[in-house]
Amino acid sequence: MTHFLVTGVSGLLGLNFALAVDGKKHQVTGVANTLPMAWASFKNVQAELTQAGVIERLIEEHKPDVILHCAAIANVDLCESEPERAKFVNADLPGTIAKACLRHSIKMIQISTDAVFDGVKGDYQEDDPTNPLSVYAQTKRDGENAVLSANPDALVARVNFYGWSATGNRSLAEVFFNNLQAGNQMNGFTDVTFCPMNILDLSDLLVEATDLQLKGIFHMVGAEPMSKYQFGVRIAEKFGFDTALIKPVSVRDGNLKAARSPNLSLSTAKLQKALGHDLPAFDAGLQKFYDQFRRGYPQYIKTLI
């Protein structure tokens, strides 16, 4: 049994990981901040992680085997407006946690992002040079460096995932779902490519990587690169919505505050070699997202916060 201390447990990844993993082979203690849990089947506490001494106190009180650090300012455009706060939370805090983990002989898993790359080349390997285009991406890349220079045994997972969230709007898949269900027209970027992974598949991979004691940087993204427009169409088809509601447009028409990398297809060859198996197919992941909907999971998860 591995005891995970999961930061950002009120967020999209933290909460889904905790629900998927706690009480099976492993145990989770979750840490939320401004959105404390209303109730949950797993143990959880509230803490502002940037306050002095908080990380040490959490480690001493809960004695985890692993800190899965999901907490971040993950809103790309918010980071552009508040660069100093973004640096403090996304770059400095991971370094502090990595040092504390080293002192206490605890494994650290830092959740990073595909957006550390500029998206010019595509099919990125783990050791390709990074070139972040936005404040968010820059602070996440600095967070990777802070973690690995403080604690070379840490695992840095560069991810891109989708799933159902407690607030109902944290993932792109939910944004497509909400609008398509309401019959709203939506834009889908045809010139932004990514590799979305179902959050349940990512949770399984993070546990497997922990069991295998992987360290260093790994790409943990979906097996199939696609544009954001194609992603929306696949969701519409799965749920039986009208695909014509999604208008194929360029990201240049999106009026986004922060720059987006055009081609974030990432190679997962290093991960597959370490695991000794292929990654789950996109369609299988989308089926899990759909099955959760059929079982009322989106309503259930909203009751937790």
Query: Which residues of the shown chain bind ligand NAP in the complex (CB under 6 A)?
Result: 7-8, 10-14, 32-35, 48-50, 70-74, 89, 111, 113, 140, 159-161, 170-171
- Distance, in Å, from the CA atom of 267 to the CA atom of 228, rounded to the nearest integer, reads 18
| Exposure b/e, 253-265, CB count within 10 A at least 16 = b | eeeeebbbbbbbb
Give the containing element (helix H, strand E) for 173: helix 172-181
**Smallest gap from residue 87 Cβ to ligand NAP (A):** 12
**Smallest gap from residue 45 Cβ to ligand NAP (A):** 11
Counts of helices then strands in the chain (DSSP H, E):
12, 13
**Smallest gap from residue 244 Cβ to ligand NAP (A):** 26
Return the structure tokens found at 277: 């198996």
Nearer CB in complex with ligand NAP: 2/50: 50
Nearer CB in complex with ligand NAP: 136/241: 136
- Distance, in Å, from the CA atom of 174 to the CA atom of 252, rounded to the nearest integer, reads 22
**Smallest gap from residue 13 Cβ to ligand NAP (A):** 4
Nearer CB in complex with ligand NAP: 48/242: 48
Q: How many residues are there in the chain?
A: 305
Name all contacts of 252-258 with Cβ < 8 Å and 24+ positions apart: 252/191, 253/187, 254/187, 254/189, 256/76, 256/77, 257/76, 257/77, 257/80, 257/81, 258/76, 258/77, 258/79, 258/80, 258/133, 258/134, 258/135, 258/136
**Smallest gap from residue 274 Cβ to ligand NAP (A):** 20
**Smallest gap from residue 249 Cβ to ligand NAP (A):** 20
Q: What is the DSSP letter of 124?
A: B
The residue type of 199 is I
User: Contact 162/198 with Cβ under 8 angstroms?
Assistant: yes
Q: Indicate the residue whose CB is closest to ligand NAP.
A: 11
- Distance, in Å, from the CA atom of 234 to the CA atom of 101, rounded to the nearest integer, reads 41
- Distance, in Å, from the CA atom of 102 to the CA atom of 27, rounded to the nearest integer, reads 21
**Smallest gap from residue 112 Cβ to ligand NAP (A):** 7
Nearer CB in complex with ligand NAP: 47/275: 47
Q: What is the DSSP letter of 1?
A: -
Nearer CB in complex with ligand NAP: 86/246: 86
Nearer CB in complex with ligand NAP: 58/246: 58
Nearer CB in complex with ligand NAP: 32/233: 32
**Smallest gap from residue 79 Cβ to ligand NAP (A):** 10
Nearer CB in complex with ligand NAP: 12/106: 12
First and final CA of the chain: distance in angstroms?
27
